[in-house]
């Protein structure tokens, strides 16, 4: 207990020096040769920026899949020359059901439907109902996998869209099953980004059912979609998607040569170009709707087959909206709508204020604790203060090593750790005092003091650690950051007090062999 | 200052008879806690944005705030603010809006649109800037609240389990009962001071719980040690002795934590509410270690602990 091997001493000192080395990058602007380049990230509350929590609309994923399934059902039956009545989808139950044209076709229907392609194995089951109908049920498991995939895909598209805005150092992370966190340092007004992310940008090309114009019930397989320019007007559009926006390879904003209006030019990949050419060739003279997020942007009449794979959308754009639409088309459509459910944005001046306030608090708090320890514990108090400084250095070092984010609550955590960190030293010192008061020799008092205090120190720190693990597990954002700094703080505190400050005390004793301890 | 201690917190070898005043201490604590619970029921906590949902926009105006002008700018954007008030400096203004109810269609999108409208309103004021704009949807706030309460509950259980495991059940139960008393008083303090109850406050409360437990563990540790050392000493006397022996440490550590948190309360800007609650909690936690946790241990363990202590574990 009173003996410190050279190796142990060397390791303790080495850890402290390593800590100093790891802290260094935080004081530098540019990477320096020979210094590990790992800095603490400043949280949005300290440097200004925006935090958006977005939720993927899972209902729409189910509804979309059901719509495609209903489409597929229709197609599969028609291909086999079978008929159907009343195809309905039920998003809640996740089913598509219909009634066969004739009870005798039932087995043929079942066979045709079971042969439909599945995206994932076991995606749906086809069953006959007691009343003679047929029901196709999506398996919940397959839907979950699909949803998870949709979130992954959404993250990719969100990243592409945000990168296109030129945001610096954006962080996009998944949270839970259906949420995405977007952090944008330096963007203190996220209005534009919110608008970009709030658009699904699903572009599809459908034929217009001209015969149904003006009718309130356009018939099966045709929907009345509102016009983008005037939501009160609708146009009957065939549900079947002729060409999909996912076949686009490029899109850009440009000024239309003839009208002088802003337009968005786009080009298809070879599959898209082929489909586009076929559709236009077969439907010359008919109207063709460009649908964006279930709104008809434009419905021009097809004059000739468009074979080059290029197209143009016009329709009341200005420079910004044309650029945005081009950006969205390039980045691709979101598999489901995203909605912002939490937004926090901090202006840069408030961040600077917070850093100043935090730094002042840390400095003043540190000074007060140092003064207190020096006044009440003398020499051993200074050893505790040395350990305290090392503690601060090590905390910063560990935060840098993991490139953790420091927020204002994190700074509060560091401050509290400083207050708590000397506790172990106080426990040791008080124990030694007691042993001295009982008339033990200096050596025996130190030995007994260390020994007895250690179990108390471990117990009290373990309970504090427990409380903060809970805080970390159940907290979010800033609270987690606070808990994390304290958890790191508890570990560094144990190291600096049980090893470093004790080492200083023991070395001092070994050097001077005092008969009276300065406690 | 460099070698011998200059000051001493507690004179050497105090023999204060804390247990004599145990009923006064318990009664005072109970009264304060009951009062706090009544305050919690009425008027209740001021829920912060995290738990209530809604929109808070902090702005800094050019020169002292002109509230009529701000209201007019908001009205021009068709925004019906629930509150426009100053906070801190005279040029700092807080604009507060309630979120559309969770059952309203598109409530999330409408909440977001409202924030943008408030931003536009602020942008129309000459020289004004938005310092911070937060919007929390109704579904998120309910979730955050549930998680916050869950964190509090689970921590109490974990602390109970840990002390039970390391000590005996009497210690664990008295510690957790004391923590609940501390917790209720802190909530009472929050009601009285009108500090907003949000996630950061949950963090403050959990820190207080952790700190307070820490404090109790140190006293209990000494009680346990003394139980083995003085086999025949009556428990009341033994607990008194243990408190006296650890008094210097208890006060010393509380003081350093207090001193560390004090600057944050004074200069910590947006965290000053958090720090004030911490300071309150430190005082409550320290006093409850002495006046509540120990007497409870005496009540619970009067017969059992003495009997069990004989064969030292």
User: CA end-to-end span of chain A, whole Å?
Assistant: 19
Give the pLDDT of residue A36. 62
**C-alpha to C-alpha distances, B256 to A98, A314, A331, A368, B261, nearest whole angstrom:** 74, 69, 55, 8, 9
Asked whether the beta carbons of A290 and A313 are under 8 A apart, the reply is yes
Record: fold of A199-345: Gyrase A; domain 2 (3.30.1360)
Question: Range with the lowest mean pLDDT among A32-41, A53-62, A234-243?
Answer: A32-41
CA B231, CA B240: separation in Å to the nearest integer? 15
Pick the CATH number of A58-143 from 3.30.1380, 3.40.190, 1.10.8, 3.30.1240: 3.30.1240
A116 phi-psi bin (left φ>0, alpha ψ -120 to 50, beta other)? beta
Give the pLDDT of residue B309. 46
Segments of chain A assigned to CATH 3.30.1240: 58-143
CB pairs under 8 A between A and B: 259
Write the burial class of residue A193 (CB in 10 Å: 0-12 exposed, 13-18 middle, 19+ buried): buried
| Least Cα separation, residue A34 to chain B (angstroms) | 36
Interface residue B262 vs chain A (CB under 8 A): yes
**C-alpha to C-alpha distances, A148 to A56, A137, A145, A285, nearest whole angstrom:** 10, 19, 5, 43
| A412/B268 touch (CB, cutoff 8 Å), yes or no | yes
Of residues A215 and A344, the one with the higher pLDDT is A344
pLDDT per residue over A119-145, tens digit each?
A: 777 888 888 888 888 999 998 888 888
State chain A's mean pLDDT as an integer. Answer: 88
pLDDT per residue over A469-507, tens digit each?
A: 888 888 777 788 889 999 999 999 999 999 999 899 989
Give the pLDDT of residue A394. 96
| Least Cα separation, residue A140 to chain B (angstroms) | 24
CA B75, CA A347: separation in Å to the nearest integer? 24
Interface residue B121 vs chain A (CB under 8 A): no
B116: chain A residues, CB-CB within 8 Å: 191, 194
> Nearest residue of A to residue B147 by CA position?
A474
CA dihedral sign, ordered B121, B123, B124, B125? positive
Interface residue B241 vs chain A (CB under 8 A): no
CA A384, CA A446: separation in Å to the nearest integer? 15
CA A169, CA A186: separation in Å to the nearest integer? 9
pLDDT per residue over A330-376, tens digit each?
A: 888 898 899 999 999 999 888 888 889 999 999 999 999 999 999 99
CA dihedral sign, ordered A94, A99, A103, A109? negative
Segments of chain A assigned to CATH 1.20.1640.10: 6-48+348-512
Structure tokens at A435: 């042993």
Among residues B5, B18, B94, B88, the alpha carbon closest in space to that of B55 is found at B94
B222: chain A residues, CB-CB within 8 Å: 456
Sorted by sequence, the CB contacts under 8 Å of residue A382 that are 6+ apart come out as A373, A374, B2
Segments of chain A assigned to CATH 3.30.1360.200: 199-345
| Least Cα separation, residue A413 to chain B (angstroms) | 9
B168: chain A residues, CB-CB within 8 Å: none
Write the burial class of residue A354 (CB in 10 Å: 0-12 exposed, 13-18 middle, 19+ buried): buried
pLDDT band at A162 (very low <50, low <70, confident <90, very high): very high
CA A434, CA A440: separation in Å to the nearest integer? 9
Structure tokens at A185: 């340092």
ipTM for this model: 0.90
Write the burial class of residue A488 (CB in 10 Å: 0-12 exposed, 13-18 middle, 19+ buried): buried
| Least Cα separation, residue B179 to chain A (angstroms) | 12
Backbone φ and ψ for A124, nearest 5 degrees, come out as: -145, 160
Asked whether the beta carbons of A383 and B10 are under 8 A apart, the reply is no
> Nearest residue of B to residue A371 by CA position?
B1
- Tokens 């979309």 sit at which residue? A64
Give the pLDDT of residue A31. 66
B5: chain A residues, CB-CB within 8 Å: 375-378, 381, 518-519
- Comparing CB atoms, the residue among B7, B130, B158 nearest residue A347 is B130
- Of A177, A182, A365, which to mutate for an interface test with B (greatest number of B Cβ within 10 Å)? A365
CA A407, CA A419: separation in Å to the nearest integer? 19
Three-state DSSP at B101 gives coil
Asked whether the beta carbons of B204 and A412 are under 8 A apart, the reply is no
- Of A354, A471, A476, A519, which to mutate for an interface test with B (greatest number of B Cβ within 10 Å)? A471
Q: Average of pLDDT values for A254-266? A: 87
Interface residue B218 vs chain A (CB under 8 A): yes
pLDDT per residue over A297-327, tens digit each?
A: 888 888 888 888 888 888 778 888 888 889 8
Q: Please report which helix (H) or strand (E) contains residue A267, including its range.
A: strand A262-268
| B214/A423 touch (CB, cutoff 8 Å), yes or no | yes
Find the Cα–Cα–Cα–Cα dihedral B214, B220, B224, B226, rounded to 10°: 120
Structure tokens at A200: 């699904």
Give the pLDDT of residue B307. 54
A426: chain B residues, CB-CB within 8 Å: 249, 252-253, 256
| A467/B155 touch (CB, cutoff 8 Å), yes or no | yes
Asked whether the beta carbons of A484 and A416 are under 8 A apart, the reply is no
Nearest 5°: CA angle at A495, between A492 and A497?
105
| A463/B253 touch (CB, cutoff 8 Å), yes or no | no
Give the pLDDT of residue B173. 94
Interface residue B6 vs chain A (CB under 8 A): yes
Indicate the CATH number for domain A6-48+348-512.
1.20.1640.10
- Of B59, B257, B265, B275, which to mutate for an interface test with A (greatest number of A Cβ within 10 Å)? B257
Per-residue pLDDT for chain B (313 aa), expressed as one digit of tens each? 567 777 777 777 788 898 888 899 999 999 999 999 999 998 999 999 989 889 999 999 888 888 888 999 999 998 887 789 888 788 889 999 988 887 887 888 888 889 999 999 999 988 899 999 999 988 888 888 898 898 889 888 988 998 999 898 999 999 999 999 999 999 999 999 999 998 889 889 988 998 999 899 999 999 999 999 998 888 999 999 999 999 999 999 999 999 999 999 998 778 899 999 999 999 999 999 999 999 999 999 877 776 554 444 4
């Amino acid at each position: 207990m009173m003996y410190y091997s050279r190796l142990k001493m060397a390791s303790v000192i080495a850890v402290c020096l390593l800590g100093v080395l790891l802290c260094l990058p935080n004081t530098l602007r540019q990477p320096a040769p020979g210094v590990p380049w790992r800095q603490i990230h400043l949280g949005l509350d300290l440097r200004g920026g925006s935090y958006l929590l977005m939720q993927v609309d899972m209902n729409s994923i189910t509804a979309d899949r059901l719509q495609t399934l209903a489409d597929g059902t229709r197609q599969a039956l028609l291909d086999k020359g079978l008929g159907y009545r009343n195809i309905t989808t039920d998003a809640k139950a996740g089913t598509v059901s219909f009634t066969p044209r004739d009870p005798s076709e039932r087995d043929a229907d079942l066979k045709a439907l079971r042969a439909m392609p599945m995206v994932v194995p076991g995606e749906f089951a086809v069953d006959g109902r007691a009343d003679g109908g047929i029901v196709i049920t999506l398996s919940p498991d397959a839907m979950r996998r699909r949803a998870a995939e949709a979130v992954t895909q959404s993250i990719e598209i969100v990243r592409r869209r945000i990168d296109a805005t030129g945001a610096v150092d954006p962080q996009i992370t998944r949270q839970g099953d259906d949420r995405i966190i977007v952090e944008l340092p330096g963007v203190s007004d996220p209005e534009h980004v919110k608008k970009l992310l709030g658009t699904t940008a699903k572009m599809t090309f459908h034929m217009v059912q001209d015969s149904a114009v003006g009718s309130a019930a356009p018939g099966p397989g045709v929907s009345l979609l509102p016009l983008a320019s005037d939501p009160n007007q609708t146009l009957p559009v065939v549900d079947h998607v002729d060409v999909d926006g996912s076949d686009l390879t490029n899109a850009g904003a440009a000024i239309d040569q003839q009208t002088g209006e802003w337009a968005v030019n786009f080009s298809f990949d070879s599959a898209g170009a082929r489909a586009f050419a076929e559709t236009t060739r077969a439907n010359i003279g008919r109207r063709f709707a460009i649908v964006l997020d279930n709104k008809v942007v434009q419905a021009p009449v097809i004059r000739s087959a468009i074979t080059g794979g290029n197209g143009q959308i016009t329709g009341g754009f200005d420079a910004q909206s044309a650029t945005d639409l081009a950006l969205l088309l390039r980045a691709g459509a979101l598999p489901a709508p995203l909605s912002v459910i939490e937004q926090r944005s901090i202006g840069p001046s408030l961040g600077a204020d917070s850093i100043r306030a935090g730094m002042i608090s840390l400095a003043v708090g540190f000074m007060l604790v140092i003064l207190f320890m020096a006044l009440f514990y003398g020499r051993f108090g200074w050893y505790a203060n040395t350990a305290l400084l090392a503690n601060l250095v090590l905390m910063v070092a560990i935060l840098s090593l993991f490139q953790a984010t420091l927020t204002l609550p994190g700074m509060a955590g560091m401050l509290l750790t400083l207050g708590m960190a000397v506790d172990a030293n106080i426990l040791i010192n008080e124990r030694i005092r007691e042993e001295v008061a009982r008339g033990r020799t200096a050596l025996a008092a130190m030995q007994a003091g260390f020994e007895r205090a250690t179990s108390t120190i471990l117990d009290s720190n373990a309970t504090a650690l427990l409380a903060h693990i809970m805080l970390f597990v159940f907290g979010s954002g800033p609270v987690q950051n606070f808990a994390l700094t304290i958890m790191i703080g508890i570990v560094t505190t144990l190291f600096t007090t049980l090893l470093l400050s004790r080492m200083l005390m023991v070395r001092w004793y070994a050097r001077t062999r005092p008969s009276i301890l300065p406690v | 200052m460099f070698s011998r201690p200059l000051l001493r917190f507690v004179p050497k070898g105090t023999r204060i008879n804390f247990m004599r005043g145990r009923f006064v201490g318990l009664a005072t604590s109970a009264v304060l806690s009951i009062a706090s619970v009544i305050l919690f029921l009425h008027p209740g906590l001021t829920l912060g944005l995290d738990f209530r949902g809604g929109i808070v926009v902090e702005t800094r105006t050019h020169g002292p705030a002109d509230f009529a002008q701000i209201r007019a700018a908001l009205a021009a954007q068709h925004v019906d603010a629930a509150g426009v008030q100053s906070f801190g400096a005279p040029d700092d203004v807080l604009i507060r809006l309630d979120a559309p109810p969770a059952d309203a269609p598109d409530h999330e999108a409408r909440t977001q649109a409202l924030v943008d409208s408030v931003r536009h309103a602020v942008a129309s004021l000459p020289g004004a800037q938005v310092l911070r704009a937060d919007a929390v949807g109704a579904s998120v706030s309910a979730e955050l609240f549930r998680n916050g309460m869950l964190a509090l509950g689970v921590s109490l259980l974990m602390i109970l389990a840990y002390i039970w495991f390391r000590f005996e059940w009497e210690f664990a139960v008295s510690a957790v009962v004391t923590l609940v008393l501390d917790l209720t008083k802190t909530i009472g303090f929050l009601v009285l001071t009108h500090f907003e109850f949000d996630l950061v406050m949950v963090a403050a409360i959990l820190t207080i719980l952790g700190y307070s437990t820490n404090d109790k563990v140190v006293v209990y540790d000494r009680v346990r040690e003394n139980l083995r050392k003085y086999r025949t000493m009556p428990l009341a006397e033994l607990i008194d002795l243990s408190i006296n022996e650890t008094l210097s440490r208890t006060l010393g550590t509380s003081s350093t934590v207090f001193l560390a948190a004090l600057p944050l309360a004074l200069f910590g800007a947006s965290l000053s509410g958090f720090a004030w609650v911490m300071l309150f909690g430190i005082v409550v936690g320290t006093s409850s270690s002495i006046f509540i946790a120990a007497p409870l241990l005496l009540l619970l363990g009067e017969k059992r602990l003495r009997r069990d202590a004989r064969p030292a574990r």
